[in-house]
Amino acid sequence: MKYRPIDQLEQSDRLGRNIYANDGRVLLGKGISLTIGLIGRLKRMGVHAVYVMDDEEEGKDIPESEDESSISDKTKREVMKNLSESLGIIQEGKDFHTKDLGQTTKNIIDELLHNKDVLLQLEDIRTKDNELLIHSMHVTVMSVLVGIKLQYTNKELIELGIGAILHDVGKVGKKQKDGLAANEHHAWIGFNTLRKNREISTVSAHVAFQHHEYLDGSGEPRGVKGENIHPYARIVSVANTYDNLVSPQDGSQPLLPYEAGEQIMGLAGEKFDRDVVWQFLRSVAFYPNGSNVHLSNGSIATIVGQNKGLPQRPIVRIFSNNTTNQYMHYDVEEINLAKAPTLFINRMVQD
């Protein structure tokens, strides 16, 4: 699979990932051949880039397990549907019940517990309508997996998951501006919304309250520091920051996964909990499958697989032994970097 900017799509490219509506319905399914009309529709939806199938995937029905999805498409649809409904009720100023959202969170936990060594490749395509939902889902998946690695109990994972999936509830129907008073910050608004709901624990509500706080006291909305930040919020803070770096909602230039990982790593101990960062970096694929990389021997290679617990040492397929952009599809060599200690990835490269 290849990650391709919208302006580089061509007719007959085949979509490599489902695109979801904000109610969980599949708008465009994986495998569909793109036309000029569909590409134009994607642009109007605010899509900036999509995954397309490569030559090896053409004509194949790839099972979900081989697709290395962190959670099933069924669970993704349920997350988006239930979260969308809950946010709609909140926007109307009404009380909402958490039964469906709680069950969906439990489903995420169960799937990750059965696949706790997965390296997350969060590749869901974002549109203007589903952006907040996809962000909330990704933050939840990353946070829960870190909680699992920290050996949280099932009760703790549920509290963490509910807090993560609703961490941005204070943004519903509101445009955030610079210079807001602390009690106008979406974190404060979200906390006040959640703490009034008797079905949501206080610690889950504090995730919404503190997910922009940093260990050194430089965060928002209250500038609390250190041990005064709840452990759940410390986890969600890292996941939220990472997702905002790779898929910014403010129109800024996105970072590549390994660049975002390096930035998170550099802030460990200063803004982020060191233990959380360590477990987080063991959970996310720095070099997602389908991306192209420049190796230390001068070769251009494509990432074709991951090694659990070793995000910086994926499995690569080399198509050429030169530094040009002329990829050759013969003399193919597949190398597991975990077993090649003298070979390193220098950087990611564009198609």
Which CATH architecture best describes the domain 73-281?
Orthogonal Bundle (1.10)
Which of 70, 104, 69 has its CA nearest to residue 84? Answer: 104
Average pLDDT score over the chain: 88
Average pLDDT of the segment spanning 174-180: 54
236, 143 Cβ separation under 8 angstroms: yes
CATH class of domain segment(s) 2-52 = alpha beta
Q: Is the pLDDT of residue 117 over 60?
A: yes
pLDDT at 124: 82
Q: Which two tokens stand for residue 165?
A: 């999936």
Q: Where are the domains of the chain?
A: 2-52, 73-281, 292-349
For the chain, percent of residues with pLDDT exceeding 90: 64
Confidence of residue 60 (pLDDT cuts 50, 70, 90): very low
pLDDT at 329: 46
Confidence of residue 53 (pLDDT cuts 50, 70, 90): confident
Q: To 5 degrees, how large is the angle CA 19–CA 142–CA 251?
A: 55
pLDDT at 86: 93
For the chain, percent of residues with pLDDT exceeding 70: 89
223: left (phi over 0), alpha (psi -120 to 50) or beta: left
Q: Is the pLDDT of residue 95 over 50?
A: yes
pLDDT at 349: 87
pLDDT at 183: 63
CA-based R_g, the chain, Å: 20
- Range in 5-9, 179-183, 339-343 with the lowest mean pLDDT: 179-183
Which amino acid belongs to residue 162? I
Q: Which residues contact 161 (CB under 8 A, 6 or more apart)?
A: 105, 106, 108, 109, 140, 143, 144, 147
Q: Which residues contact 169 (CB under 8 A, 6 or more apart)?
A: 87, 90, 190, 193, 194, 208
pLDDT at 1: 73
Q: Is the pLDDT of residue 308 over 70?
A: yes
**Inter-CA distances, 3 with 22, 194, 301, 303, Å:** 22, 37, 15, 12
3-state secondary structure the chain: CEEEEHHHCCCCCEECCCEECCCCCEEECCCCECCHHHHHHHHHCCCCEEEECCCCCCCCCCCCCCCCCCCCHHHHHHHHHHHHHHHHHHHCCCCCCCHHHHHHHHHHHHHHHCCCCCCECCCCCCCCCCHHHHHHHHHHHHHHHHHHHCCCCHHHHHHHHHHHHCCCHHHCCCCCCCCCCHHHCHHHHHHHHHHCCCCCCHHHHHHHHHCCCCCCCCCCCCCCCHHHCCHHHHHHHHHHHHHHHHCCCCCCCCCCHHHHHHHHHHCECCCECHHHHHHHHCCECCCCCCCEEEECCCCEEEEEECCCCCCCCCEEEEEECCCCCCCCCCCCEEEEHHHCCCCCEEEEECC
212, 237 Cβ separation under 8 angstroms: yes
d(CA 111, CA 121): 15
pLDDT at 337: 96
Q: Is the pLDDT of residue 251 over 80?
A: no
Q: Which two tokens stand for residue 343?
A: 């070979």
Confidence of residue 66 (pLDDT cuts 50, 70, 90): very low
pLDDT tens digits, one per residue of 199-220: 999 999 999 999 999 999 999 9
At which residue do the structure tokens 């239930």 appear? 82
- Range in 44-58, 147-161, 170-184, 287-301 with the lowest mean pLDDT: 170-184
At which residue do the structure tokens 């465009």 appear? 28
- For 266, phi and psi rounded to 5 degrees? -70, -20
Average pLDDT of the segment spanning 65-91: 83
Confidence of residue 67 (pLDDT cuts 50, 70, 90): very low
pLDDT at 69: 56
Average pLDDT of the segment spanning 4-21: 89
**pTM of the predicted structure, to 2 decimals:** 0.86
pLDDT at 264: 97
